[in-house]
Amino acid sequence: MERIHTILAIAAITFAIGAVGVIVRRNVIVVFMCIELMLNAVNLSFVAFSQSVGNLTGQVAVFFVMVVAAAEAAVGLAIFIALFRTARSVESTSATELRL
Amino acid sequence: MTNVTQWVAVIPTAVLGLGGMVLALAPRGEERIPAFGALALLLVALSVPFLFEGGYTAGVGASGVLNAGLFGAGFLHDPVTWFFTVLVLTGTLVVVAMSFGRLKSLGISSSPEYYGLLLMTSASAIVLVGAGELITIFVGLEALSLGLYCLCGSAVSSRRSVEGALKYFILGSFSSAFLLYGMSVLYGVTGSTELAVIARELVSVRQIPAIFGVGLILVGVFFKLGAVPFHFWAPDVYQGAPTPVTAYMASVVKAAALAMAMRLLWNGFGHNEVAGWWLGSAWTVALLTMIVGNIVAVRQRNVKRMLAYSSVAHVGYMTAALLPPGARAAGGGALLFYIVAYSVVTFGAFAVTMAVTGDRVDQPSADDISSFAGLSRTNPRIAAAMTLFLLTLAGLPPGTVGLVGKFYLLSVVVQSHFVGLAVVAAICSAISCYFYLRVISAMYVQQATDVTPPHFVSPLGTRIVIGSMVAASIILGLTPSFVHNRAQAVAHGVFVRQP
């Protein structure tokens, strides 16, 4: 197996772990960590593709993704704090006010 | 490329983005300062596309082929960007008018941040609308979404508002991760992030990874549009968010997502061979979205949830018109007209809902259908306006815009031999009459059950919005060709050519 395939496989596995984590975990902070894991898996695959394609666009994309992930963390944690203030918990099971 | 006027297309974004940042720093307490500041900035931004329309056609060469665009191919200054810029700015103007004087009673305590975020979110919506390259699309989409998460949770002391923001945030970031993964795969296969290059390359690359990438991107696009099976966030978020923000999501954000979908599906993956990859799954999504949206809406008691499912259903009709590979100019014209008509009546319906909810934002039952009982006696004019909006959404005669819009959409679908889809759409429209008419019957037939005095609140801004939306829907219904011709011309210049 070529090196690029190994890296892409690692990226795909990491992405899958993150996706499963988002679905099965109940603590919203852990869920958010799993989303970050997915984004970083994408970063890895961007870098790997950048090398195989032979241009720098993929590496530039990683910087943009990192900035977006940081902004997302800021907004996400603010929402979690607001959730904790109103519901006294950061479990997603406590957010059940909205339903039919 | 030496033409200076083409840079005009980025001025609205710059004005809103920078202005929004300054606005967010305004002193708290006095709502008037940030509201009028936002109004002024929006009017300045709105004057740009009208005064310098040439800047938006400079990108299209003589043969109808688009020149490179600005910032590499990051921002396309084409007529479609012009159309959606005007739509986004006008929509934001309406949201500002709806919000003015109501923020306190909606539980939003910091007006500068609210108006500032609103402008910055609209700036990102314009970036998304003009984006012609994957990274720009991602950044525009994420900036738009991040602003929306904040706006959705801006009533920080309300549990429902925060819960809506949380659900939107988790599911939104989850879907953007899929979108981004698809983008990285497409970049790996084609070697570029520019939609024009991708469109050319996709025909000849290895199919399996390319289809994988396109599929992942479709997941992200359908999530943002709120199509079934990626619609689960919509009802909760629509109900939880403060009502002006809900109206903003249902109109401006939906329009921006539609623009993104059109650019990706038609300009990026639009080649006949490539379109074959996603046509089947998009067909299924359109079908499911129409059926599920309309049937689940029947069960709703809460008007905001009902309107959320109704918006899901309307996304289904719009997705159907995204399909035909041979009729993109007609389909684009119909879609642009439909989103304008839909935005107008949605603003109206949410403005009325907000007035009826009044000062009872804390009560979960305040925006139930039962709150509309007897409205025709207490507020006959508002009840008549709501009747017009709901009939337009249903596509029944007095609301001609809805009828005409649906006619344009479905005629495109039928002409491209997707007859089955058009038949289902017609049946679903018939079902939708039930839940729209239920609100109307509550207003005109039922007696007000509430013994407490009416909670109806409609400050000047709300009344202006309701009045102008009534006027706009009547004018659009009487002379639809004015907007439709324009939409058709816009779509023809950008979407008609084979990539």
The verdict on domain A3-91 having CATH code 1.10.287.3510 is yes
Q: Does A33 touch chain B (CB under 8 A)?
A: no
Of A42, A76, A87, the CB nearest to B181: A42
A73 touches chain B (CB under 8 A): no
Mutate to test the interface with B, among A8, A38, A42 (most CBs of B within 10 A): A42
Q: Residue B32 and residue B45: Cα distance in Å, rounded?
A: 20
Q: What is the pLDDT along chain A (100 residues), one digit of tens a residue?
A: 688 999 999 999 999 999 999 999 999 999 999 999 999 999 999 999 999 999 999 999 999 999 999 999 999 999 999 999 988 888 877 777 776 5
ipTM for this prediction: 0.96
Neighbours of A10 (CB within 10 A): 14
Q: Which of A42, A53, A71 sits opposite B177 (nearest CB)?
A: A42
Query: What gap in Å lies between CA A38 and CA B149, rounded to an integer?
Result: 20
pLDDT in tens, B130-150: 998 999 999 999 999 999 999
Instruction: Tell me the shortest Cα–Cα distance from A2 to chain B, in angstroms.
Output: 15
Number of domains in chain B: 1
Q: What number is the average pLDDT over the span B4-27?
A: 90
pLDDT(B263) > 50: yes
B201 inside 8 A of chain A by CB: no
Burial tier of B433 (Cβ tally within 10 Å: 0-12, 13-18, 19+): middle
- Checking if the pLDDT of B2 tops 90, the result is no
Contact call for B185 and A45, based on CB within 8 A: yes
Q: In the beta sheet, which residues pair with residue B70? A: B75
Is there a contact between B469 and B351 (Cβ–Cβ < 8 Å)? yes
B180 and chain A: CB distance < 8 Å anywhere? yes
Residue B62 confidence (pLDDT) above 50: no
Is A89 near chain B, with CB under 8 Å? no
Question: Which residues in chain A touch residue B299, judged by CB atoms under 8 angstroms apart?
Answer: 100
Report, as an integer, the average pLDDT of B412-417: 91
Give the contacts of B214 (CB within 8 A, at least 6 positions apart): B182, B186, B202, B269, B274, B277, B278
Nearest CA in chain A to B180: A42
**Cα–Cα dist B46/B25, whole Å:** 23
The answer to whether the CB atoms of B188 and A42 lie below 8 A apart is no
Cα torsion through B353, B312, B302, A88, rounded to 10 = -100
Q: CB neighbours (10 Å) of residue B481?
A: 10
Distance between first and last Cα of chain A? 52
Whole-prediction pTM: 0.95
- CB of A60 within 8 Å of a chain B CB? The answer is yes
8 Å CB contact of B165 and A82? yes
Query: What CA–CA distances, in Å, run from B67 to A59, B70, B215, B291?
Result: 26, 9, 28, 41
Whether residue B90 contacts residue B465, with contact meaning beta carbons closer than 8 Å, is answered with no
* Residues forming a β-bridge with B194: B133
Q: Which of A42, A65, A95 sits opposite B163 (nearest CB)?
A: A95
| CA-derived radius of gyration, chain A | 17
Give the CA distances from residue B253 to residues A56, B61, B179, B407, in Å, rounded to whole numbers and listed in that order.
32, 30, 17, 24
Q: Closest Cα of chain B to A58: distance in Å?
A: 7
Contact A44, A7 (CB under 8 A): yes
- SS3 of residue B71 by DSSP: coil
pLDDT of residue B1: 46
A13 CB near a chain B CB, below 8 Å?
A: no
Cα B298 to Cα B286: distance, rounded to the nearest angstrom: 19
Domain that residue B482 falls in: 5-495
DSSP conformation class of B393: H
* DSSP state, residue B107: T
Name chain A contacts of B146, Cβ cutoff 8 Å.
Answer: 71-72, 75
- Where residue B374 falls among pLDDT bands split at 50, 70, 90? confident
Residues 6+ apart with CB under 8 A from B268: B195, B198, B199, B499
Tell me the angle at which helices B134-152 and B254-262 cross, rounded to the nearest 10 degrees: 170
* A68–B167 C-beta distance less than 8 A: no
pLDDT class for B497, splitting at 50, 70, 90? low
Category of B107 on φ-ψ map: left (φ > 0), alpha (ψ -120 to 50) or beta? left
Contacts of B188 in chain A (CB under 8 A): 8, 45, 48-49, 52-53, 58
3-state secondary structure string across A31-94: HHHHHHHHHHHHHHHHHHHHHHHCCCHHHHHHHHHHHHHHHHHHHHHHHHHHHHHHHCCCEHHH
Q: What angle in degrees, to the nearest 10, is found between the helix axes of B303-322 and B400-415?
A: 30
Phi-psi bin for B75: left (phi > 0), alpha (psi -120 to 50), beta?
beta
Residue listed under structure tokens 């961007």: A46
**Nearest Cα residue in chain B from A27:** B170
Whole-number Å distance between alpha carbons of B75 and B297:
38
**A31: contact with B, CB 8 A cutoff:** yes
